[in-house]
Structure formats: structure tokens, C-alpha cells
Amino acid sequence: MPISEPIAYRRAALHKEAQQWLLRLTSGTATTHDARAFEHWCGQSPAHVEAFVQTRRLWENLGPAAHAWMARERTRTALRSEHDATSPRMSRRAFLGAAVAASAALVVLHPPLEMWPSLSDMAADYRTATGEQRELDLGQGVVVQMNTQTTLNLRKSSGQVRGIDLLSGEIQVKAMAAADGPIPIFAGGGRIDVGVMAKCNVRCDEGGVRVTGLDGATTLHYQGRTALLETAQRADYGNGRVSQVAPADIEVTMAWRRRVLIFDGQSLSEVVHEINRYRPGRIILANDALAARKVQARFSLNQLSDVAALIQDAYGAKVTSLPGGIVILS
């Protein structure tokens, strides 16, 4: 029996609303008010939750499809003749098909909720998934530890690694005695030279780049400015500025290598932001007072599935669990 028009229209409307919510929550400008409104929207009926789940699944399925479409388009572009310039305008069906493909390409470039690797991530020489850590032995006495959600490329010449391009994420680089001179790391428009027998930690995200000296001497260069970092010193750069060299807590900086996160006086909003790097899905804070609470805690990366319950116990937060690993704290 065909679905009645009122029901069909209602389902279509719910899916449209779900798409709008997905875009809003992943826009980078979502507020705690948005999170509360989203929680209210999901609580209206199971159909609302199901619409969001199906929308999320659609975005996931579009990811690989868009990647394949873009590969085909590159081939077609290479073979396209001058005849195309004089051909009639595309039909409505062709236009709609291109629009759908373009939308798919967009979500590959900017995947919502980081549900799959972006196009640049997939093209990188090395990358780690959410929660994954990896060791790279580059030879020549250079070892790289990659943290979660990290992508990098290698600069090679004559079969030898000459540098590391850190596109996003966090790495620790150790240059042992066999290393042939400083190992350059390029990140966020700057250059970091790791001296022989030295070790440093580099984190690159939307806020800029933080470099922490863990052992030996590390030098950073950014827009004509230079900073020398010794053991237990750090500096940040980005947006045209380089910070003053400051003391660094090596235990906190290196904690991820032991699969632990250490927080000492950070706000809960900062803690949740960090946890979201390691945990599939997304934790959303929907309470400004809760977000401002200070946190002193250690979390095992192997037990982040329990973190919402721990926050609930410690701060009396209300926890709403939604499909896709989305948790709202209010």
C-alpha cells in the first residue's frame, strides 16, 4: 500500500530538518543554545531520531561515492575536447545529477562530525583515524609517533626523507645519533628543526601550531621570527605571531603516548574538545555553567566510552545519548 501523502510529506519534512541540524551542528559556530534546541528536537518523537540517523548514514555513504565521482571527473576533464564549448546546455536531469555529485564532493572535502577522512586526508602519505596512534620509522635515525586524527606527507629526495609536512594533528619526532642533520617539520606555514639527539612534540590544528621541546634543542621559524626551545619549553605560532617561549609540563604533553589524558584546571569545555579528538561521535555541552567548570582528572584513552557517565557523576550533568555516538551534556 502506498504511503499516504500527509505521512510522506511529514517524513520529507523531518529529513529536511535533520539535514539542517547536521549542517548546523558541524558548522563550527554551533552554540549551547543550538545543542539544547537539538536535544529538544530529538525528544519530540522516535521518528525525529530515526530521521537524523538516516541523514547521517546518507552522508557516510556519499563519502566514497563522491571520491569516485571526483576521480571520474578528473579523467573526463583530461579527455574533454573543444567540442564541449559549443555543445548545448545540459539537461535538467544532467544538472541535477551534477548538483548531487557536487554536494557529495563537498562533504568529502568537509566531512560533518569528521565521520570519514576528508579528501586531503585520504590523499596524505600517512594518516591516523579517530583514536588511532601509529609509529613511523623513517630511517636515518628518525622515528615519528602519530597521535589521533593526524595526517602528514613526507618530503623525499634521492630516496631519502628530507622533511615532514604535518597537515593536521599531533606528532612526536625523535632524531637519534644516526640522523643526518636537523629534521625539518613544516606545519602551519612555519618550519621546525629537530636537532640530532633531540625530541619534540608538534600539534597543528585550527588554532595554530604548538611546539614543545622534550629533549635536546628544537628551533622554530615562522614569518622571519625564530625561537629556540630547550627541554621542557614550548612556543605557539600562527595568525602572524609567535608566542614567548614558556615552561612546558612534559608529563602532560607526553601523556597521550601512555594513552592517558591529563587535565589540571582546564574548563570542561576544553576537556570535552580534547576528548572529542579521541572518541568516535561527538560530545556536545549544552550548559554554559557546566562548560565553565574546572577539571582536574586523568582519563584513560581505553575507557572514553565511560567518560559521559564520569562527568555525570562528578558534576551532576544530565546525559542524553543519541545514535551515532552523539552525547549531549546539560
pLDDT score recorded for residue 104:
45
Quick one: average pLDDT of 120-146? 86
Which pLDDT score is estimated for 243?
A: 96
pLDDT of residue 27: 56
Per-residue pLDDT at 265: 92
Per-residue pLDDT tens for 169-211?
A: 999 999 986 656 778 999 999 999 998 899 999 999 887 999 9
pLDDT at residue number 7 = 65
pLDDT digits (tens, 9 = 90+) for 45-75: 878 877 877 776 666 555 545 444 444 544 5
Q: What is the 3-state secondary structure (H, E, C) of the chain?
A: CCCCHHHHHHHHHHHHHHHHHHHHHCCCCCCHHHHHHHHHHHCCCHHHHHHHHHHHHHHHHHHHHHHHHHHHHHHHHHHCCCHHHHCCCCCHHHHHHHHHHHHHHHHHHCCHHHCCCCHHHHHCCEECCCCCCEEEEEECCEEEEECCCCEEEEEEECCEEEEEEEEEEEEEEEECCCCCCCEEEEECCEEEEECCCEEEEEEEECCEEEEEEEECCEEEEECCEEEEECCCEEEEEECCEECCCEECCHHHHCHHHHCEEEEEEEEHHHHHHHHHHHCCCEEEECCHHHHHCEEEEEEEHHHHHHHHHHHHHHHCCCEEEEHHHEEEEC
User: What percent of the chain is modeled with pLDDT above 90?
Assistant: 42
Instruction: For the chain, list the domains and their CATH numbers.
Output: 5-119 (no CATH), 126-253 (2.60.120.1440), 259-329 (3.55.50.30)
Q: What is the pLDDT of residue 137?
A: 92
Residue 135: pLDDT band by 50, 70, 90 thresholds? very high
Quote the pLDDT of residue 94: 45
pLDDT at 9: 65
pTM: 0.69
In the predicted structure, residue 108 carries a pLDDT above the cut 80: no
Greater confidence, 201 or 296? Answer: 201
